Amino acid sequence: MKEALEQIRTAALDAIAQAENSRAVDDIKVKFLGKKGELTSILKQMGKLSAEERPVIGQLANQIRGELEQSIAAAQQQLKEKQLLAQIKAETLDVTMPGKKFDLGKKHPLTLVMDEIKEIFLGMGFDVVDGPEVELDYYNFEALNIPKNHPARDTQDTFYITENTLLRTQTSPVQIRTMEQRKPPIRVISPGRVFRSDALDATHSPVFHQIEGLVVDKNITMSDLKGTLELFIKKLYGEDSVVRFRPHHFPFTEPSAETDVMCFHCHGKGCRLCKGEGWIEILGAGMVHPKVLENCGIDPEEYSGFAFGMGLERVVMRRFAIDDIRLFFENDKRFLEQF
């Protein structure tokens, strides 16, 4: 029996020395030390031994078990390290390789200036309100005192969806929605996209942005309109800006005006930027028409107000000397990176 044990020891140690991976070592462990392993089955025969032999063989068996357990653990450890080394070798990193470049996003020039304009009006106590881009005929035209036969309703300008729904051609319908929802005093601006059936060229786009403004309260006069817009333009274009108001016509304001700023390039002399005019048109404005107030349930005898609207693209084009409106919508990174 002693010989059998010695044989097991030699065989197991040999096998361990030859094992090439930890799976093989696991198998060896089962083969020799497992419940049905070789060492175990020898020990099961201990009953046959004499009382003197039993402790001697028992001791030897335990010694061999300990020895084998130890060399199995050592072999596992060694194989693990070997495997790790092989892995590290196979996965070498080239630390001199250039890294991936991540481009940081930037605000679109339209957003930049829109944010600036919002800040200016927020500072004057205005709220920012929103309205739908798909609008009812009633809000875009009817309630704004633009009757059914008005040329602005021409299908050439307006994208109709059905007879009564359309893509809003201006942000002015938000005036009506605001006056329906709020009681005076009202002080809001409403920036957003508007749509007109224009062919795309350097100065026209079927989609562009407007910013609408509306103030309604007791005793609001044309001076409030002029003062507010002058302050706004000076904040946007600089304190030395010269502003002028020209009589104009809008169906939903009376009286109406267009607001110009003196050309900052030629200071009124006339140049290419202002097309020889000396002045650049910035926005349309006027006192809210009494009929419009009435349409919204506001008594024009008690309240008055002013409204204005401006095109964002034009303001931004002038600010950054951009000569083609299409650049805003093409999203060429070489363009966008410049702001």
Taking contact as CB under 6 A, which single stretch among the options 73-81, 115-123, 178-186, 284-292 is the one that binds ligand PHE? 284-292
Under the binding rule (CB under 6 A), the answer on residue 205 touching ligand PHE is: no
Contact in structure between 257 and 246 (CB atoms under 8 Å): yes
Nearest approach in angstroms of CB 318 to ligand PHE is: 17
- The owner of tokens 């919204």 is 296
DSSP 108: -
Q: How far apart are CA 294 and CA 137, in angstroms?
A: 18
- For 143, which DSSP code? G
The stretch near ligand PHE (CB under 6 A) out of 79-87, 103-111, 176-184, 282-290 is 282-290
Residue with tokens 């140690």: 13
Pair 278, 270: CB distance under 8 Å: yes
Give me the residues paired with residue 262 across strands: 279
Say if residues 106 and 333 touch (Cβ distance below 8 Å). Answer: no
Which listed residue (286, 292, 295, 304) binds ligand PHE by CB under 6 A? 286
Q: Are strands 186-195 and 127-128 parallel, antiparallel or unpaired?
A: parallel
Smallest gap from Cβ 197 to ligand PHE, in A, equals: 14
Out of 28, 285, 296, 317, name the contact with ligand PHE by CB under 6 A. Answer: 285
Minimal distance in Å, beta carbon 222 to ligand PHE?
13
Q: How far apart are CA 260 and CA 155, in angstroms?
A: 30
| From 48-56, 124-132, 261-269, 279-287, span contacting ligand PHE (CB under 6 A) | 279-287
Query: Which of positions 254-273 make contact with ligand PHE (CB under 6 A)?
Result: none
Q: Tell me which of 145, 172, 295, 304 binds ligand PHE, using CB under 6 A.
A: 172
Applying CB under 6 A, does 131 fall inside the site for ligand PHE? no
Q: State yes or no: residue 228 binds ligand PHE (CB under 6 A).
A: no
HSE-CB of 193 using CA atoms within 13 angstroms: 10
- Is 195 a binding residue for ligand PHE by CB under 6 A? The answer is no
Size of site (CB under 6 A) for ligand PHE: 11
Over its C-alpha atoms, the chain yields an Rg (Å, rounded) of: 43
- H/E run at residue 274: none
Please tell me what DSSP assigns to residue 251. Answer: T
Q: Which of 158, 205, 253, 295 binds ligand PHE (CB under 6 A)?
A: 253
Helix (H, G, I), strand (E, B) or coil at 187: strand
Choose, by CB under 6 A, the member of 191, 251, 305, 309 that binds ligand PHE.
309
Residue from 208, 250, 303, 328 touching ligand PHE (CB under 6 A): that is: 250
Interface ranges with ligand PHE (CB under 6 A): 170, 172, 212, 250, 253, 284-286, 307-309
